[in-house]
């Protein structure tokens, strides 16, 4: 068990990723994956990614073993003390940051990587370093579909030992590959709406009646300016028998492409595997009754594939001994609102804490 393991004094060496001898942990040599910033500029994608990553990153890691119960004829879970890395996989940063970064890469690219930076004397990992996807290349698998863990991994162009790399593989292809068309459409519509947002829509226009006197452009401009100035002072207008007023029939929502953009947002919610109503889209007949129901929907329809991928990867024989497993505490997340609040402890007067 993790509480009784001795930790080795040395971290596992990694070949330098640049000519300056930098190793994982040096943020200056990292780079983000291609396309993530562009996708996150779309509000629907940003909302979906934020929901799923923050949800999973907030779950507690627990470890357990299985025990066969002959009476129930099923396995029961026996929880064990956590390994130290389950609280902070990377000692100098938070667990939430590491898990959120991992989930985001699983969503965008279909895989993510941790490098083992320390081991117990038993040989099992004691600490990790998340490796940003933009710094990784795998010559043996060019993608966009992945057929298993890679056996040829380069970090910033330099080879690293796959035995020291924990490889997370998503059951769903990366959305930057299979969702690229939906992303392109959404961005094109947003750009068009941005251009139209600077167009001034006239409230109406004046027209010379048939048979009326022909007016020069300067005269027409003077009449229009006078009409507009008069409307700022008085809501009632007066026209002579030669002019008539027509109200504008241009709908501002048409210029903002509201219907098309809403459809594009709906398509992106489908691509991101998130229920549309959780990203603010109105869908007929689809609502949630309460916070618990919305949590279940988000977990089942959005987060579960990535939760399963993380649990099964961290339960592998390269991370834990045989018979030990990792889980993310989903039950507490779903029923958190129903859990009793902790009872505050009243301080005792005259006694030092």
Q: What is the DSSP secondary-structure string of 185-198?
A: HHHHHHHHHHHHTT
State whether 71 and 117 are in the same domain.
Answer: yes
State whether 69 and 149 are in the same domain.
Answer: yes
Count of domains observed in the chain? 2
Directed axis angle between helix 43-57 and helix 304-314, to 10°? 40
Asked if 213 and 207 count as a contact pair (C-beta separation under 8 A), the reply is: no
**Confidence band of 153 (pLDDT split at 50, 70, 90):** very high
State whether 132 and 78 are in the same domain.
Answer: yes
More confident residue, 223 or 189: 189
Report the pLDDT averaged over residues 7-14: 45
State whether 234 and 302 are in the same domain.
Answer: no
State whether 62 and 159 are in the same domain.
Answer: yes
Which residues does residue 74 pair with via DSSP β-bridges, in sequence order? 69
Pairing state of beta strands 74-80 and 61-69? antiparallel
pTM of the model: 0.73
Range of the domain at 214: 202-249
pLDDT of residue 62: 93
Cα separation values, 288 from 252, 265, 294, 333, Å:
32, 19, 6, 17
User: Among 5-9, 51-55, 300-304, whose mean pLDDT is lowest?
Assistant: 5-9
State whether 268 and 319 are in the same domain.
Answer: yes
pLDDT of residue 15: 39
Cα separation values, 6 from 84, 125, 128, Å:
11, 12, 17
State whether 93 and 147 are in the same domain.
Answer: yes
Directed axis angle between helix 258-271 and helix 180-196, to 10°? 150
State whether 243 and 269 are in the same domain.
Answer: no
Nearest to 129 by CA among 85, 83, 163, 161: 85
Residue 274 inside a domain? The answer is yes
């Amino acid at each position: 068990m993790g509480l009784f393991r001795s930790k080795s004094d040395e971290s596992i060496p990694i070949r330098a990723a640049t000519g300056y001898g930098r190793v994982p942990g040096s943020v200056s040599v990292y780079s983000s994956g291609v396309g993530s910033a562009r996708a996150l500029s779309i509000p629907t994608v940003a909302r979906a990614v934020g929901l799923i990553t923050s949800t999973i990153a907030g779950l507690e890691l627990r470890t357990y073993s299985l025990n066969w119960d002959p009476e129930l004829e099923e396995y029961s879970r026996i929880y064990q003390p956590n390994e130290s890395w389950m609280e902070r996989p990377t000692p100098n940063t938070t667990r939430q940051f590491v898990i959120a970064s991992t989930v985001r890469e699983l969503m965008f690219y279909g895989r993510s990587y941790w490098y083992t930076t320390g081991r117990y004397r038993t040989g099992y990992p004691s600490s990790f370093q998340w490796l940003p996807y933009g710094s990784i290349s795998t010559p043996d698998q060019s993608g966009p579909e992945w057929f298993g863990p890679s056996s040829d991994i380069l970090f910033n162009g330099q080879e690293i030992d796959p035995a020291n790399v924990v490889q997370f593989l998503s059951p769903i292809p990366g959305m930057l590959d299979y969702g690229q068309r939906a992303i392109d459409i959404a961005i094109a519509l947003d750009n068009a709406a941005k251009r139209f947002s600077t167009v001034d829509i006239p409230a109406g226009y004046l027209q010379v009646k048939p048979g009326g006197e022909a007016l020069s452009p300067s005269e027409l401009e003077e009449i229009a300016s006078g009409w507009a100035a008069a409307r700022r002072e008085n809501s009632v207008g007066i026209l002579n028998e030669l002019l008539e007023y027509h109200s504008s029939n241009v709908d501002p929502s048409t210029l903002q492409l509201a219907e098309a953009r809403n459809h594009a947002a709906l398509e992106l919610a489908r691509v991101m595997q998130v229920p549309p109503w959780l990203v603010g889209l109105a869908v007929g007949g689809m609502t949630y009754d309460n916070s618990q129901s919305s949590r279940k929907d988000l977990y089942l329809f959005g987060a579960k594939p990535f939760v399963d991928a993380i649990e099964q990867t961290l339960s592998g024989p390269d991370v834990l001994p045989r018979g030990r497993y990792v889980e993310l505490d989903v039950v507490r997340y779903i029923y958190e609102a129903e859990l009793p609040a902790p009872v505050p402890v009243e301080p005792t007067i005259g006694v030092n804490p």
